């Protein structure tokens, strides 16, 4: 019965080889979220943002980028809502300037990043995301230190920077 | 031998079986039974593993993540809020305290150019399919019909008699088939000997794969080539095994070879090595992939917009893309996706096996010379059979914020088309020069001879308006003081404020009287004594945007490079100033820098031109001829006029 022993041993080693090589090929997509987020400026925020969307568990890197664009959209909406609220109670030129910046984010940067991720042209996703981060920074700095939008601008900037970093991974 | 590797890595398991089998060849029947058992288990395990791996997971992206990890080692150190990562649009001009700028309509309108090709509105990027046909030059371009940012890309179209005066035509290729529904991207034209035109372009399919499609004019006798037909059985090329579905784009013009086939190339990448694939065809419908690449350079990433063409080492005329033989070298050029820079290298094409090697491996594609050291990408050349020259187009993106682009309603320019020649004097560089037809825009001129500019001085040049200019200048140097000065500060440094013995000196363009905004275009010389009496001089040619605008929300960089200067040559430059773009050429076009400027004060009548010398140990004598340039009045084709 030497052959059966050999067969079994072989089978066992086969099994070992396959099972030990599986983890390094990233069996679980949760590891993809983590390895992707490790290469962004804010690991925790990246993981938390992605995991809050149901599709992230099975998304590839491009899919994660698309999810982050949705997160950007949501942060932009938060900022726009806050701006509208403030425009009623405490209007100012800086606030008006912020309105136009966030308008550009919503009509320009986000559609650009969305299309760029969907259509396999990540460099334009990086452009759009970087520009969105810049616009949020300009909005914030327009208040010369007394900004009523700090939380929203920081949120926008942070998620945009993460999105840009994911785009860079696809280049 | 370069080749495409099969990177599916599960093969060794089976091979181990077969080796075992050979050792025990005595009882074949029993072995076969257990072999089947092993084989069956292997197949089961492998397919189980494959199922888990491939389910909802992009294999190629995973490979890229592993390889790209090293490129992002800055991220842990990035301070919160600073957007890192170089992008074509937002360079590192941002600091924590940068406010934005209140752009007025006057400032934004001024930015629009007078004689550089740009659509009436919206976004443009890569030049596509340039060609000359029945008396008209054609330019196609990546265009977004809806917005001033990238997206919804179709092929815009324009024609000109002279490469300068352009007339807009309707879009030529739109995204209306499954094989280009997600993008009608870049491509090139091939002119066949019988007069037919073949256009190959990259389409992004409904299944998100990059493919190459064939299109041709609906009516080749139409000089305007208004309508285009897509081959019904597109695509004609799909990503081959081992090449990623997003790493396969921008086919070149084809060339005809002694094998009686047409050959073309397109860029791709494997494991962060940029490379160029080779295809052969006789009918432009059926293609064979060569098993080796035209060329591959490790570490350069994806090669976009590959361009491959012959140049005459005699250096006097351009060559048809199919030209070959003694006296011919070949240029290979790639746009690097990772860095948004265009590189070229001069080398030898081995037509027997369709490979190419650079003359100097240290100046290989992606690591050596750049076509343009400024804001410049996705360039493409074509052979102009009308005037027997090779003409080069290049895309110039904006350096401002996208808010500004959306407000002003447009983004991006093309360069003035440039002739390309091999520089027979150095043997290492190409020479680029604005096409001569630009001279038709020249109006009045001013000439200055041997103007003396002492160290630390600025000399105004009274030429009238200074926003649309063609400037040709030569500089001579007078050493002051003792001969023995050695100054090895070289390169462009932090800009024109950085003084050294032999530079910087040059001109200040788009500058105002108060010099609160200015754009220096300059030379800096340095010499290196190395202990013996030998002194080698090197010259850098630079454009300094850092004070081009008071606005903080535009990118303001210092661009430049060394430029070879031969012993018998004077320092010379040519500069085309056209509102928010400045194209600068040194030493007859050996080094070229395209630059975008967005001044807030040095606009309209307030813009001036100066000479400057910020060196410490030399006088400069400058001779210049400066022309005012007219607008090219680029506008829609006048279909309604009777011709």
Active site (annotated) includes residue B126: yes
Asked if residue B362 and residue B463 are part of one domain, the reply reads: no
Q: Give residue limits of the domains in chain A.
A: 43-169
Q: Is A137 touching B (CB cutoff 8 A)?
A: yes
Distance of CA B207 to the CA centre of its chain: 29
How distant is the Cα of B128 from the closest Cα of chain A, in angstroms?
A: 17
CB contact under 8 Å between A108 and B301, yes or no, is: no
Q: Average the pLDDT over each of A21-30, A59-68, B304-313, B325-334 and give the range with the smallest value.
A: A21-30
In-domain check, residue B22: no
- How far apart (Å, rounded) are the C-alpha atoms in residues B249 and B378? 12
Q: Which of A10, A14, A26, A108 to mutate to test the interface with B (most CBs of B within 10 A)?
A: A108
Q: What is the CATH number of the domain that holds B501?
A: 2.60.120.560
Q: Is B47 touching A (CB cutoff 8 A)?
A: no
- How far apart (Å, rounded) are the C-alpha atoms in residues A112 and A109? 5
* The token pair that represents B269 in the structure block: 């990448």
- Hey, is B538 helix, strand or coil? strand
Asked if residue B283 and residue B375 are part of one domain, the reply reads: yes
The pLDDT tens digits for B42-55 are 666 666 655 555 44
Chain B residues 350-409 within an 8 A CB cutoff of chain A: 401-403, 405-407
Whole-number pLDDT of residue B527: 84
Q: Report the residue count for chain B.
A: 643
Asked if residue B350 and residue B263 are part of one domain, the reply reads: yes
Contacts of B385 (CB under 8 A, 6+ apart): B132, B191, B320
Asked if residue B490 and residue B350 are part of one domain, the reply reads: no
CB contact under 8 Å between B64 and A170, yes or no, is: yes
Yes or no: domain A43-169 corresponds to CATH 1.20.140.40? yes
Contacts of B56 in chain A (CB under 8 A): 29, 58-60
Q: Which of B374, B400, B434 is the last residue of a domain?
A: B434
Residue B15: φ, ψ to 5°: -60, -35
Asked if residue B394 and residue B535 are part of one domain, the reply reads: no
Asked if residue B366 and residue B462 are part of one domain, the reply reads: no
* The token pair that represents B471 in the structure block: 């400037």
In-domain check, residue B368: yes
* The token pair that represents B44 in the structure block: 């089961």
Q: To which residue do tokens 């967005």 refer?
A: B598
Whole-number pLDDT of residue A1: 55
CB contact under 8 Å between A97 and B89, yes or no, is: no
* The token pair that represents A100 in the structure block: 């136009």
The mean pLDDT of chain A is 89
How distant is the Cα of B209 from the closest Cα of chain A, in angstroms?
A: 8
Contacts of A42 (CB under 8 A, 6+ apart): A158, A161, A162, B80
In-domain check, residue B27: no
CB contact under 8 Å between A123 and B402, yes or no, is: no
CB contact under 8 Å between B149 and A111, yes or no, is: yes
Whole-number pLDDT of residue B85: 29
Catalytic residue among B126, B180, B307, B372: B126
Asked if residue B496 and residue B421 are part of one domain, the reply reads: no
Asked if residue B203 and residue B139 are part of one domain, the reply reads: yes
Q: Which of A24, A123, A151, A156 to mutate to test the interface with B (most CBs of B within 10 A)?
A: A123
Contacts of B64 in chain A (CB under 8 A): 61, 169-170
The answer to whether residue A27 scores a pLDDT higher than 60 is: no
The answer to whether residue A25 scores a pLDDT higher than 60 is: no
CB contact under 8 Å between B85 and A168, yes or no, is: yes
Q: Are A160 and A47 in contact (CB under 8 A)?
A: no
Asked if residue B313 and residue B203 are part of one domain, the reply reads: yes
The count of structural domains within chain B is 2
Distance of CA A36 to the CA centre of its chain: 10
Q: Which of B390, B416, B434 is the last residue of a domain?
A: B434
CB contact under 8 Å between B46 and A18, yes or no, is: yes
Report how far apart, in Å, the C-alpha atoms of B80 and of each of A102, A144, B290 are.
20, 18, 49
Q: What is the CATH number of the domain that holds B409?
A: 2.115.10.20
Q: Are A22 and B50 in contact (CB under 8 A)?
A: no
Asked if residue B419 and residue B452 are part of one domain, the reply reads: no
Identify the domain containing residue B206 by its residue range: 121-434
Using CB atoms within 10 A of its CB, is residue A99 exposed (0-12), middle (13-18) or buried (19+)?
Answer: middle
CB contact under 8 Å between B401 and A134, yes or no, is: yes
Q: Is B260 touching A (CB cutoff 8 A)?
A: no
The mean pLDDT of chain B is 87
Query: Across the interface, which of B34, B62, B210 has its CB nearest the CB of A26?
Result: B62
More confident residue, B23 or A144: A144
Contacts of A111 in chain B (CB under 8 A): 147, 149, 151
Contacts of A14 in chain B (CB under 8 A): 13, 38, 41-42, 45
Whole-number pLDDT of residue B487: 75
The pLDDT tens digits for B292-317 are 999 999 999 999 999 999 999 997 99
Q: Is A116 touching B (CB cutoff 8 A)?
A: yes
Asked if residue B478 and residue B539 are part of one domain, the reply reads: yes
* DSSP letter string, B26-84: T-HHHHHHHHHHHHHHHHHHHHHHHHHHHTT--HHHHHHHHHHGGGGTTGGGPPTT---
CB contact under 8 Å between B208 and A160, yes or no, is: no
Q: Are B287 and B277 in contact (CB under 8 A)?
A: no
**ipTM for this prediction:** 0.82
Q: Is B182 touching A (CB cutoff 8 A)?
A: yes
Q: Is A98 touching B (CB cutoff 8 A)?
A: no
In-domain check, residue B29: no
| DSSP 8-state class, residue A69 | H
The answer to whether residue A17 scores a pLDDT higher than 90 is: no
The pLDDT tens digits for B390-412 are 999 999 999 999 999 999 999 99
Q: Is B147 touching A (CB cutoff 8 A)?
A: yes
In-domain check, residue B81: no
The pLDDT tens digits for B249-282 are 999 999 999 999 999 999 999 999 999 999 999 9
- How far apart (Å, rounded) are the C-alpha atoms in residues A9 and B16? 13
Q: Is B342 touching A (CB cutoff 8 A)?
A: no
Asked if residue B491 and residue B400 are part of one domain, the reply reads: no
**Which residues of chain B carry a pLDDT beneath 70?**
1-99, 482-484, 529-535, 642-643
Instruction: Kindly indicate the confidence band of residue A85, based on its pLDDT and cuts at 50, 70 and 90.
Output: very high
CB contact under 8 Å between B58 and A133, yes or no, is: no
* The token pair that represents B83 in the structure block: 């957007």
B34: closest chain A residue by CA: A7
- How far apart (Å, rounded) are the C-alpha atoms in residues B306 and B268? 9
Contacts of B337 in chain A (CB under 8 A): 123, 171
Residue B190: beta bridge partners? B198
Q: Which of B434, B467, B486 is the last residue of a domain?
A: B434
- Hey, is A8 helix, strand or coil? helix
Q: Are B208 and B245 in contact (CB under 8 A)?
A: yes
In-domain check, residue B331: yes
């Amino acid at each position: 019965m030497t052959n059966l022993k050999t067969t079994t041993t072989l089978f066992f080693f086969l099994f070992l080889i396959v099972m030990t090589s599986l983890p390094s090929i990233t069996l679980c997509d949760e590891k993809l979220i983590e390895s992707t987020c490790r290469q962004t400026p804010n690991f925790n925020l990246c993981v938390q943002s992605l995991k809050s969307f149901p599709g992230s568990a099975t998304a590839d890197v491009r899919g994660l980028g698309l999810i982050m664009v949705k997160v950007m959209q949501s942060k932009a909406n938060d900022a726009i809502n806050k701006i509208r609220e403030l425009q009623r109670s405490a209007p100012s030129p800086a606030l008006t300037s912020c309105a136009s910046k966030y308008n550009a984010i919503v009509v320009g940067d986000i559609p650009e990043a969305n299309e760029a991720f969907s259509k396999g042209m990540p460099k334009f996703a990086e452009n759009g995301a970087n520009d969105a981060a810049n616009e949020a920074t300009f909005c914030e700095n327009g208040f010369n230190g007394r900004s009523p939008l700090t939380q929203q601008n920081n949120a926008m900037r942070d998620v945009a920077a993460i999105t840009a970093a994911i785009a860079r991974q696809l280049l | 031998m370069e080749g495409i590797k099969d990177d599916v890595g599960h093969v060794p398991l089976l091979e181990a079986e077969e080796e075992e089998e050979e050792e025990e060849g005595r009882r074949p029947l029993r072995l076969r039974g257990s072999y089947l058992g092993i084989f069956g288990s292997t197949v089961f395990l492998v397919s189980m593993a494959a199922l888990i791996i491939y389910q909802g997971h992009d294999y190629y992206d995973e490979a890229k993540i592993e390889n790209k990890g090293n490129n992002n080692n800055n991220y842990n150190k990035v301070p919160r809020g600073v957007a890192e990562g170089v992008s074509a649009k937002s360079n590192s001009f941002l600091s924590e305290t940068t406010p934005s700028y209140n752009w007025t309509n006057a400032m934004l309108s001024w930015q629009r150019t007078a004689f550089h090709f740009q659509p009436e509105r919206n976004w443009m990027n890569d030049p596509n399919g340039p060609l000359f046909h029945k008396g008209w030059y054609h330019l196609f371009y990546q265009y977004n019909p809806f917005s001033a940012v990238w997206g919804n890309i179709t092929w815009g179209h324009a024609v000109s008699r002279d490469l300068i005066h352009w007339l807009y035509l309707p879009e030529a290729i739109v995204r209306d088939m499954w094989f280009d529904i997600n993008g009608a991207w870049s491509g090139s034209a091939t002119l066949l000997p019988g007069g037919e035109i073949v256009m190959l372009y990259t389409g992004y399919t409904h299944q998100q794969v990059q493919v190459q499609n064939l299109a041709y004019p609906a009516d080749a006798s139409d000089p305007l080539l208004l309508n285009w037909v897509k081959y019904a059985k597109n695509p004609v090329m799909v990503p081959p095994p081992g090449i990623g579905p997003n790493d396969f784009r921008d086919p070149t013009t084809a060339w005809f070879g002694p094998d009686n086939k047409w050959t073309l190339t397109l860029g791709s990448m494997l494991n962060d090595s940029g490379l160029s694939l080779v295809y052969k065809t006789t009918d432009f419908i059926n293609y064979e992939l060569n098993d080796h690449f035209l060329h591959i350079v490790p570490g350069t990433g994806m090669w976009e917009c590959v361009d491959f063409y012959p140049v005459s080492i005699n250096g006097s005329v351009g060559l048809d893309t199919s030209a070959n033989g003694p006296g011919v070298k070949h240029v290979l050029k790639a746009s690097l996706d990772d860095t948004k820079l265009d590189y070229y290298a001069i080398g030898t094409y081995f037509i027997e096996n369709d490979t190419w090697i650079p003359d100097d491996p240290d100046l290989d594609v992606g690591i050596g010379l750049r076509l343009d050291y400024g804001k410049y990408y996705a360039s493409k050349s074509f052979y102009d059979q009308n005037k027997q020259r090779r003409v080069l187009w290049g895309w110039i993106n904006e350096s401002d914020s996208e808010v500004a682009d959306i407000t002003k309603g447009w983004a991006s320019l093309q360069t003035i088309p440039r002739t390309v020649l091999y520089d027979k004097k150095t043997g290492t560089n190409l020479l680029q020069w604005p096409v001569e037809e630009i001279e038709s825009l020249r109006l009045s001129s001013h000439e200055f001879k041997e103007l003396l500019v002492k160290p630390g001085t600025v000399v105004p040049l009274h030429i009238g308006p200074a926003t649309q200019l063609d400037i040709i200048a030569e500089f001579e140097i007078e050493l002051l003081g003792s001969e023995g000065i050695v100054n090895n500060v070289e390169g462009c440094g932090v800009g024109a404020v950085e003084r050294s013995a032999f530079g910087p000196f040059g001109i200040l363009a788009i500058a105002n009287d108060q010099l609160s905004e200015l754009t220096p275009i300059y030379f800096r010389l340095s010499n290196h004594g190395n202990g013996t009496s030998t002194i080698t001089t090197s010259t850098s040619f630079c454009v300094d945007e850092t004070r081009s605008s008071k606005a903080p929300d535009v990118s303001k960089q210092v661009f430049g490079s060394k430029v070879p200067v031969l012993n018998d040559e004077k320092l010379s430059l040519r500069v085309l100033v056209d509102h928010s773009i400045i194209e600068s050429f040194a030493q007859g076009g050996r080094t070229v820098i395209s630059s975008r400027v967005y001044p807030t004060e040095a606009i309209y009548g307030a813009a001036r031109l100066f000479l400057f010398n910020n060196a410490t140990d030399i006088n400069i004598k400058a001779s210049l001829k400066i022309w005012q340039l007219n607008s090219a009045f680029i506008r829609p084709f006048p279909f309604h006029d009777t011709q």
